[in-house]
Amino acid sequence: MSTTMQLLRTDWFGLLVAFLLGAIMLGVAQPSFLSTYNIYVILTAFALSVLVALSQMVIVAIGQLNLSVGAIGGLAAITFAGAMDLWNVPIPVAILIGLMVGVAGGALNGVVTHVTGLNAFVVTLATLSIFKGTNIGITEAQPFYDIPEAVKTFGNARFGFFPYLLFVSGAILVAVWVFMRRAVLGRQLLAVGGNRNAAELSGISIGRVVVAAHVLSGTLAAVAGMLAVARLQLGQPTIGDDWLIISFAAPVIGGAVLAGGHVSVGGTLLGVAIIMLINNALVLLNVNPYAVQLLLGALILAAVALSRFRDPA
Partner 1 sequence: MKINRYTTVAAAALLLSAGVAQASDTKAALVPGGPHPYFAAWEGAAAAAAEDFDVEAEYEVPPAWELSQQNEMIESLVAQGYNAFLVFPGDASGTNATLGELKDFGIPSATLAGCTEAPTPALFCLGTDVYNSAYLGTQELIKAMGGSGNIAHFTGFLVDPNTQLRIDAVEKAASEHDGVEVIQVIADIDAPEPADEKINAFLAAQGDNVDGIVTTAWVPAVVAATSLRNLGDKRIKMVGIDHDQVVLDAIKDGYVHGTMLQNPYGQGYIGVYAMDLVRSGCTMKDDAPWMTTAQTDRFIDSGTAFVGADEVDNYQDAMVRVTDEIMADFKETYMNCPN
Span interacting with partner 1, options 139-147, 172-180, 265-273, 303-311, rule CB under 8 A: 139-147
Stretch that binds partner 1, among 7-15, 111-119, 137-145, 298-306 (CB under 8 A): 137-145
* Whether 259 contacts 61, CB under 8 Å: no
3-class state of residue 292 by DSSP: helix
Query: Per rule CB under 8 A, is residue 141 in the interface with partner 1?
Result: yes
- Please state, in angstroms and rounded to a whole number, the distance separating the CA atoms of residues 151 and 157: 10
Number of residues that bind partner 1 (CB under 8 A): 45
Q: Is 4 exposed, middle or buried (0-12, 13-18, 19+ CB in 10 A)?
A: exposed
Q: Which residue number, 1 or 141, has a Cβ lying nearer to partner 1? A: 141
Does 245 contact partner 1 by CB under 8 A?
no
Count of C-beta atoms within a 10 Å radius of residue 129: 13
Cα 193 to Cα 65, 152, 259, distances in angstroms: 11, 39, 7
**Is the four-CA dihedral 168, 173, 175, 176 of positive or negative sign?**
positive
Least distance in angstroms from the C-beta of 92 to partner 1? 24
Binding of partner 1 at residue 233 (CB under 8 A)? Answer: yes
Contact 188, 204 (CB under 8 A): yes
Asked if residue 94 binds partner 1 (CB under 8 A), the reply is no
The verdict on 242 binding partner 1 (CB under 8 A) reads yes
Show the DSSP H helices in the chain as ranges. 3-8, 13-29, 36-61, 69-86, 91-116, 120-139, 149-156, 165-182, 184-194, 196-201, 206-232, 244-253, 265-284, 289-310
Nearer to partner 1, 235 or 260 (CB): 235
Q: What are phi and psi of 36, to 5 degrees?
A: -55, -45
Q: Which CB sits closer to partner 1, 11 or 85?
A: 85
Q: How many CB atoms lie within 10 A of CB 117?
A: 8
CB 236, min distance to partner 1, A: 5
Question: In this structure, is the dihedral angle defined by the CA atoms of residues 84, 53, 237 and 132, taken in order, positive or negative?
Answer: negative
Q: Which is nearer to partner 1, 116 or 142 (CB)?
A: 142
Q: 6, 116, 119, 142: which one contacts partner 1 (CB under 8 A)?
A: 142
Q: Establish if 202 lies at the interface with partner 1 (CB under 8 A).
A: no
Encoded one letter per residue, x for contact with partner 1 by CB under 8 A and - for no contact, window 270-299 reads ------x--xx--xx-x--xx-xx------
- CA dist 281 and 29 (Å) reads 10
238 contacts partner 1 (rule: CB under 8 A): yes
Binding string to partner 1 for residues 29 to 48, with x set by CB under 8 A, is what? -x-xx-x-xx-xxx-xx--x
Task: Tell the smallest beta-carbon distance from residue 233 to partner 1 (Å).
Answer: 6
Q: What are phi and psi of 9, to 5 degrees?
A: -85, -5
Q: Which residues bind partner 1 (CB under 8 A)?
A: 30, 32-33, 35, 37-38, 40-42, 44-45, 48, 129, 132-133, 136, 139-143, 145, 156, 228, 231-234, 236-239, 241-243, 276, 279-280, 283-284, 286, 289-290, 292-293
